[in-house]
Amino acid sequence: MYPRPIPESAIWQRRLYVSAVVLVLILWLCPLFAIILTSFRSTADVMGGNLWGWPTEIGLIDNYRAVFTDTPMARYFLNSLIITIPSVIGVLVLSTLAGFVLSRYRFPGNMLIFALFVGGNFLPHQIMMIPVRDLMVRLDLIDTTVALIIFHVAFQTGFATLFMRNFIAALPDELFQAARAEGASPFQTLIHVVIPLVRPALAALAILIFTFVWNDYFWAVVLTVSDSVKPVTAGLANLRGEWVSAWNLVSAGTIIVAVPPVVMFFLMQRHFIAGLTMGAVKG
């Protein structure tokens, strides 16, 4: 039996869909391609006004080396790590504890507390700029990495708690009943039952929080002043002001700043996808 021929209209429909996807992909990647191309340009090209054409000289090694040797980017990069890593760990710990309690224990005010976590996600953080900055000034924490860590842990924990609460609530009740029958305490149940099962969710959440904190610019500008504590996002703005004509260095710095979230995603890609799809299909 011969296969049925594909109708001409279906072929043209498929081509139209593929063309649309390719067009969207090109438009999405154009800014990234332009930045990468500019990071390759030599200083002579930039000074000569060749910002959009194909580079006449390639200054790849010189540009990326100059970002670390001629600018404070290494300091900014280290500051971002100092801010981001403790923030991610703090958010994961607090959200897992809160999600476990809110999903598995019934007590007066349970739903009210959960509603506060949900409602906090819809509150624009920018409207609290003045109170937050005033609080950090009163605590003598302004212009410190501690201020940014406290802020990110406080404001990211709401979303993370909602995320973890839903994952933990989806776990079978039989597991918790078996743990109680074995005499396990709530903390032992959390460590030995919950965390191994929600590891993909923790990996997905870690990537999201890492990206949010690493890419934050608004609060990096509001809560820091000196170069000694600024993260990479605020540092790039300073770099542009200090090297107003050296767009090749600014572009190289931008690519360097974008590398850690991308590397973290690819290293944890399997866990990230498993965390997002966990519970979507039931056996």
In the block, which residue shows the tokens 């039989």?
A: 174
The residue among 282, 129, 136 whose CA lies nearest residue 218 is 129
Q: How far from the centroid of its chain's Cα atoms is residue 265's Cα? A: 9
pTM (predicted TM-score): 0.81
The residue among 239, 208, 234 whose CA lies nearest residue 223 is 234
In the block, which residue shows the tokens 């959960």?
A: 114
Kindly report, residue by residue over 235-251, the tens digit of the pLDDT. 887 776 554 567 888 88
Q: Which segments of the chain have a pLDDT < 70?
A: 1-10, 51, 59-60, 240-245, 271-283
CB 150: neighbour CB atoms within 10 A? 20
Kindly report, residue by residue over 73-121, the tens digit of the pLDDT. 889 999 999 999 999 999 999 999 999 998 888 888 888 888 887 787 7
Q: How far from the centroid of its chain's Cα atoms is residue 269's Cα? A: 14
253, 236 contact by CB (below 8 A): yes
d(CA 270, CA 80): 25
The residue among 264, 276, 156 whose CA lies nearest residue 204 is 276
* Residue 273: C-alpha distances to residues 98, 202, 265 (Å): 24, 11, 10
